Structure 1
Amino acid sequence: MKVSIRRATAADVDFILELVTHEDVEPFLAAVSAKKRGEILGEVERSEREPDAFGVFVIEVDGVRAGTMRFELSNRRSRIAHLGGLAVHPDFRGGKVADEAARLFQRYLFDELGLHRLEMEIYGFNERAMAHAERSGFIHEGVRRKAFWRNEQWVDGVRYGLVVEDLAGESPSPFGDAA
């Protein structure tokens, strides 16, 4: 099984729409995420226009679309990006696709874009995502208690961070044509 990542194109919009609205995926994504075709297309176009500041990526397994993830530069001077929108289609779960894709994405953001720090915030009820973050090298940095109204209740936001030194000693993974 070969996992690869690449920047999304307009041809991927329908796949991303189907994925982020899938009944087993949508409850775990940020409520503010794009979930309409036009919004997703707008984000893909922005990703193409601003490749160093914003990115929508597609995860592929053996050349087949399997997931998506994104980043947005949140502090240009300090080279910090916020990650989000990681979603793997249920048909591809269980094979550590998300873990390998995350490593490829980290290496791309650190090595190719020269970022210093990656951050993300995960809903407190999303235990699978928190376990994934920790397997992928992210450091748990704290909890914002009852920070988000989601699924008809207040939920915590669990914060994670990763700096390039956290990956020291790892050999860079080839990420192909991720740009």
Structure 2
Amino acid sequence: MDFSVKPVLTGDRAVLRPFTEADAERMWEIINDPEVERFTGSPGHELTPELVRAWYGSRSAQPDRLDLAVTDPADGGLLGEVVLHEWEPESRSCTFRILLGARGRGRGTGTEATRLIVGYGFEELGLHRIQLDAYGYNHRALHVYEKVGFVVEGVRREVEWRDGAWADEVLMAVLDHQWAAHRGRPLADDGRPLADRGRPEAGVTAR
């Protein structure tokens, strides 16, 4: 398993590529987007432009994680990031996260970027399990994760006080054999699991 290789992954709505230090200024703007701040946890320390520059300038040298820039295939504009991190070699597992600025939202970019990097994790890196956590009120993200095959494994109730209310944390994961069966497309157009197509009695997947 080789995280030192930083690939370019190309789709119709997104191109994932390695970060460079030149991306720091745009990522600083994205990180400070109010909606990004609402749906992501605190970094644990005060961010500065200098720290962000050092961070993104060093992503391509990391041997145990994969950070890729999400870009617009039309003009190469930087839209956000996708990450596989917290690698556990013994269990062949990683944690996934995605962060998109305003320009990258509401156009299918997040769905495709997620499929691209998760597919790479299973098909090229040989991962067995990819997991994530998300705030319970982040309904758009939870829908995307379900759409690409992540399954809810549990809810940590009221883990954090955010925006004047207690927030739940939803835990989700997808396994290699699940991915091999659906390649990130487990749901039919009508919202039902693909395995249930042709079975009128099957219930619609909960949203």
> Which category describes the TM-score, using the shorter chain as reference length?
0.7 to 0.9
Q: How far did residue 92 of structure 1 move?
A: 3.0
Give distance in 1, aligned partners of 2:21 and 2:102.
23
Larger % of strand: which? 1
* Alignment size in residue pairs: 170
* 8 A contact 1:46–1:54 mirrored in 2: no
Q: How far did residue 152 of structure 1 move?
A: 4.2
Structure with higher RCO (Cα < 8 A, 6+ apart): 1
Q: Which residue of 2 aligns with 1:124?
A: 136
- State the Cα deviation string for residues 56-105 of structure 1 (Å, max 9, x = none): 21111212222212221342211111112x22222232221100000101
Give distance in 2, aligned partners of 1:125 and 1:68.
21
Q: Which residue of 2 aligns with 1:97?
A: 109
Q: Which amino acid aligns with 1:44?
A: Y
Change (3 A) 1:123 1:171: closer
Q: Which amino acid aligns with 2:159?
A: A
- Does 1:135 pair with 2:135? no
Give distance in 1, aligned partners of 2:92 and 2:23.
28
- Does 1:56 pair with 2:36? no
Moved more, 96-105 or 21-30: 21-30
Which runs of 5 or more structure 1 residues have no equivalent in the other structure?
173-179
TM-score by length of 1: 0.83
Give distance in 1, aligned partners of 2:151 and 2:161.
24
Equivalent residues in 2 for 1:1-179 (5 A)?
1-32=12-43, 35-51=47-63, 53-62=64-73, 63-84=76-97, 86-170=98-182
Q: Whose Rg is larger?
A: 2
Which runs of 5 or more structure 2 residues have no equivalent in the other structure?
1-11, 185-207
Please state whether the residue corresponding to 1:114 is helix, strand or coil.
Answer: coil
Please state whether the residue corresponding to 2:28 is helix, strand or coil.
Answer: helix
Give distance in 2, aligned partners of 1:64 and 1:140.
33
* 8 A contact 2:13–2:108 mirrored in 1: no
Q: How far did residue 39 of structure 1 move?
A: 3.2
TM-score by length of 2: 0.73
Give distance in 1, aligned partners of 2:130 and 2:111.
15
Please state whether the residue corresponding to 2:83 is helix, strand or coil.
Answer: strand
Give distance in 2, aligned partners of 1:41 and 1:114.
31
Q: How far did residue 20 of structure 1 move?
A: 1.2
Q: How far did residue 48 of structure 1 move?
A: 2.1
- State the Cα deviation string for residues 7-31 of structure 1 (Å, max 9, x = none): 2111111111111111232211122
CA RMSD of aligned residues (A): 2.2
* 8 A contact 2:13–2:109 mirrored in 1: no
